[in-house]
Amino acid sequence: MKSENGFYGQYGGSYIPEILYSSQQQILHAFEDAKNDPAFLAELHKQWQQFSGRPTPLTFCANLTEHFGGAQIYLKREDLNHSGAHKMNNVIGQGLLVKRMGKKRVIAETGAGQHGIATALVAARLGLECTIYMGAKDIERQYPNVFWMKQLGATVVPVTTGAQTLRDALDEALRDWSSSHEDSHYLIGTSCGCAPFPEMVAFFQSVIGDEVREQSVAQFGQFPDRLYACVGGGSNACGLFLPFLDEKDVAMVGVEAGGKGLALGEHSIRLSHNLGQPGIAQGFATMFLQDQAGQLQETHSIAAGLDYVGVSPIIAHLAETGRIQMTYAMDDDVIAACTLLLKKEGIIPALESSHALAGAFKDAPNLPKTSRIVINLSGRGDKDIFNVAKAVQDEAFPQFLNDYLATYPVTTDNKEQNA
């Protein structure tokens, strides 16, 4: 979706410290050039295919469809990307742009760790130095991802300020960029931040919806009736929705994280139910969860990737104009949706994506049998093994962990590798 000078309605823009002005302009121009350069686009599609395995399938779910007895349910399988999430689409695009700009290092923030891993993978492949900022609390929740980032050669910096989650990681990445902008690119993981990041990330993610357009026509002769995506920062939702923006008969539903409840601090609902307020922070204007005095607030979700205080200005604008309908799913519903997909279809969804499932499953029984819905399965759930085991109260898991720890060599020879 093209912005008006970086703005989508009242949201977006570029509100950054003066020190970053030149670098922001450089990215703006490099992206404008690149997206109109057939050679760049050809390389992008080649890397998407050869490195990430695109196109990802559109999978019909016969058992779920029968279970709910309503709409025909399809999943867009972004979980089958290399790295196991849609994040790969964006990092390949920005990675190629970094090479084009001649920079040597990338900085990224990460919440769940999916974007961190995706960035570390691309950095390794493209020969770039890589520093990942991650909230200390998120590192605790998603250590296996941190482990892989380090194995891939990235430096992972725990962020211990504030609530120690994605928002703080984003602040710290911006601070790094303020001093390193001449040789480093800030490889933002979602369609947030100063212009042109929202537009650029949405552009790279739109491959998701572009493929669904072709696949839906090929598989059932028409576009889907409804699309569902979870909304954290908003990149997988932008990716699925934007290519359908002009198709008035295609309804779009964004699902936010309802967390444990609707009290401030217990959820990450920025758009539905007027819980967020307009604000300008972290480089852009959008709906933020904040108090009366304009201080950004803590958020919660069982899915670290949705635990964010702001939201894409593109999604905020489309929600405000009514083009996208926003709803939310609570932590408990999310675990139930995750479990149902496992049992019925043999697919392990990420907890982030399970929000989209939960939102769709609520509607599916009430939709006509002739209607078709596409849910963006933005990531796979292997990374969530510890959290899901805890949520379903698996009895054997603690014993497994105890046994594992009992045999874990405490003094290792390769300490430095993990330092």
Partner 1 sequence: MSQLAAFIHEKKSAQQAGQKKPILSMTHVVYGYPSVQESLDWMARLMEEGVDFIEVQFPFSDPVADGPSIVAACHKALEQTLDVDTCLTQLGELAKGFPESRIVLMSYLNPMYRFGLDKLAKRAAEENILGLILPDFPIEQSTDYIAACKANNIDPIWLVTPVTPSDRLEMLASKASGFLYCVARSGVTGHSSHEGTSHLTPMDEYLAHIKAHANAPMGVGFGLRERSQIEDLIGKADVAILGSALLDAYNQGGQDAGIALLRDLFPTH
- Give the catalytic positions in this structure: 61, 86
Nearest to partner 1 of 9, 162 (CB atom)? 162
Residue in 217, 280, 385, 401 binding partner 1, rule: CB under 8 A: 280
Distance CA 362, CA 317 (A): 25
> Site residues for partner 1, window 341-400 (CB under 8 A)?
none
Residue in 191, 272, 290, 353 binding partner 1, rule: CB under 8 A: 290
Residue 293 within binding range of partner 1, rule CB under 8 A: yes
Q: Site mask, partner 1, residues 158-177, x = CB under 8 A?
A: ---xx----x---x--xxx-
> Site residues for partner 1, window 53-82 (CB under 8 A)?
none
Please count the CA atoms within 13 angstroms of the CA of 346 that sit on its side-chain side. 4
Nearest to partner 1 of 13, 116 (CB atom)? 13
Residue in 13, 254, 258, 259 binding partner 1, rule: CB under 8 A: 13
Q: Site mask, partner 1, residues 184-203, x = CB under 8 A?
A: --------------------
Say whether 66 sits in a helix, a strand or coil: helix
Distance CA 84, CA 102 (A): 28
Please count the CA atoms within 13 angstroms of the CA of 419 that sit on its side-chain side. 6
Q: Which stretch binds partner 1 (CB under 8 A): 34-42, 72-80, 279-287, 348-356?
A: 279-287
Place of tokens 């307009």: 278
**116 in Cβ contact with 134 (< 8 Å):** yes
Distance CA 139, CA 364 (A): 35
> Site residues for partner 1, window 249-278 (CB under 8 A)?
277
Distance CA 310, CA 326 (A): 15
Distance CA 120, CA 116 (A): 6
Q: How far is the CB of 172 from partner 1 (least distance, A)?
A: 9
> Site residues for partner 1, window 107-166 (CB under 8 A)?
157, 161-162
Q: Which residues on neighbouring strands pair with residue 201, listed in sequence order?
A: none
Q: How far is the CB of 357 from partner 1 (least distance, A)?
A: 32
The DSSP 8-state label assigned to residue 349 in this structure reads: B
Nearest to partner 1 of 115, 167 (CB atom)? 167
Q: Which residues contact 39 (CB under 8 A, 6 or more apart)?
A: none
Nearest to partner 1 of 20, 338 (CB atom)? 20
For residue 41, with 0-12 CB atoms within 10 Å meaning exposed, 13-18 middle and 19 or more buried, which class applies?
middle
Q: How many residues bind partner 1 (CB under 8 A)?
A: 38
Q: How far is the CB of 155 from partner 1 (least distance, A)?
A: 11
Q: Which of 263, 212, 205, 202 shows the shortest CA–CA distance to 89?
A: 205
Residue 105 within binding range of partner 1, rule CB under 8 A: no
Q: Are strands 155-159 and 284-288 parallel, antiparallel or unpaired?
A: unpaired
Can you state the percent helix, strand and coil of the chain, rounding each to 5? 50, 20, 30
Residue 222 within binding range of partner 1, rule CB under 8 A: no
Which parts of this chain interact with partner 1 (CB under 8 A)?
Answer: 13-19, 21-22, 25, 157, 161-162, 167, 171, 174-176, 178-183, 277, 279-283, 288, 290, 292-297
